[in-house]
Chain A
Amino acid sequence: MTLFDYFLILLGMGVVTYLPRLLPLLFLTRRELPSWLVEWLELIPVAILAALLAPALLVDGNSLSVDFTRPEFIVAIPTFIFAYRVRSLGGTVIFGMAIFWLYGKVF
């Protein structure tokens, strides 16, 4: 594939990635949103974070099965408790990394 052909594919990928990121910002910041929509959107962050995280911790990507013994999930339990107690983003990242690393050493 020539660099130009490759560039055209990237351009296509870039446009279809960028527009869904841009259009809601352009249109929804310009008007007074109905209160029901604002209220619904308020719940989107927690919903998206949980929807991203839960399968990443519990679902094996290859076999597509739920596995409660995955290190990602087991390490998530103390990390979750730590985050709840300490409420620090950076601290939780470091704590999670350390436990994950130790877990890999021990098991």
Chain B
Amino acid sequence: MMGKLDTWSEALKRGVVAGWPICLGYIPIGMALGVLAEKSGLDPLRMGLMSLLVFAGSSQFIGVAMIESGASPLSIIITTFVVNFRHFLMSSALAVPLAGLDKKFLTLFAYGVTDESFGVNMTRFREGGWSHRAALVVHHAANTTWIIATVAGALVGSLIPKGAFGIDYALAGMFIALLVMQLNGKIYIITGAVAGVVAIFWRVLIPGDSYIVGAAVVAATVGFYLKRRSRGITFEECRPEESLR
């Protein structure tokens, strides 16, 4: 399950090759955040500090808006916690392929767990042959791009004309490809479909961002029970590898 152990230079190459769609997608979003921050009175230094210390896109947009509106520090921090809590679920899933690694590595690795890096790394781990070092490179390539893009946006405004080259669709395209790569078998297709439908209803009906964690937990649980039932509920025979290609 751990895949191979890259040397750092191999990991650097493989991580960048795997992570470039994230970086591409972060450029327009990061710049947009920088522009917004500049308009809200945050200078490039403050923008860069936020991207370094928080590194979580959607919560940074919300944070900038709340700071501008004069919200209390406590309410900003609580909101950030709620918006970013979904990473708890992602780190839990990442614990399976990262089992047994030392604390120092995990402490560094945890910093870069985002929706995007999670999608890329989990898909690679599943395919096999992915190393934890390459996964860490994905994190830091994404983080570096994010910091540069947000600071550049705050410094000079967005350098990218609106809608240029469809770059705004880079992350959507990446998530579509990652989702397709996850659809290995009936249980996975059903789980994805349930998650999508539940997420849409949840998003429309319940304010906030709870739809991501909510729909994922519901769908994984439905998929889990379907898998168990299709196998006749034999706890001894649970081998997750069976479901892989």
Inter-chain contact A54/B94, CB cutoff 8 Å: no
A53 contact from B93, B164, B172, B219, Cβ within 8 A: B172
Inter-chain contact A46/B119, CB cutoff 8 Å: no
Give the secondary structure class of B's interface. Answer: helix
Inter-chain contact A46/B21, CB cutoff 8 Å: no
Which segment of B4-12, B76-84, B149-157 sits at the interface?
B76-84
A41 contact from B63, B67, B93, B243, Cβ within 8 A: B93
Inter-chain contact A12/B77, CB cutoff 8 Å: yes
- A residues sitting closer than 8 Å to B (CB atoms) are 1, 3, 5-14, 16-18, 20-29, 33, 35-36, 38-59, 64-66, 72, 75-76, 79-80, 83-84, 87-102, 104
Given contacts A29-B99, A97-B167, contact A54 B173 (CB under 8 A): no
Inter-chain contact B172/A96, CB cutoff 8 Å: yes
Minimum C-beta distance from A56 to chain B (A): 7
Q: Which of B136-172 contact A (CB under 8 A)?
A: 163-170, 172
- Could you pull out 16 A-B pairs where Cβ atoms are within 8 angstroms? A1-B67, A9-B77, A10-B54, A17-B55, A21-B113, A25-B94, A40-B220, A43-B187, A47-B219, A48-B195, A51-B215, A52-B115, A64-B204, A87-B181, A96-B166, A96-B172
Give the secondary structure class of A's interface. Answer: helix
Given contacts A22-B106, A47-B195, contact A83 B98 (CB under 8 A): no
Minimum C-beta distance from A29 to chain B (A): 5
Q: How many residue pairs between the two chains, A and B, have CB atoms under 8 Å in the bound complex?
A: 303
Of the four ranges (under 10, 10 to 19, 20 to 34, 35 or more), the interface on chain B belongs to 35 or more
Residues from chain B with a CB closer than 8 A to the CB of A16 are: 77-78, 80-81, 84
Given contacts A9-B73, A64-B203, contact A44 B115 (CB under 8 A): no
* Most A CB within 10 A of own CB, among B18, B21, B164: B21
Residues from chain A with a CB closer than 8 A to the CB of B88 are: 20-21, 23-24
Inter-chain contact A40/B168, CB cutoff 8 Å: no
Given contacts A36-B238, A49-B178, contact A44 B216 (CB under 8 A): yes
Minimum C-beta distance from A84 to chain B (A): 5
Residues from chain B with a CB closer than 8 A to the CB of A38 are: 96, 238, 240
Minimum C-beta distance from B160 to chain A (A): 12
Q: Considering only CB atoms, which chain B residue lies closest to A97 in the complex?
A: B166
How many angstroms from the CA of A20 to the CA of B18 in the assembled complex?
Answer: 25
Inter-chain contact B212/A46, CB cutoff 8 Å: no
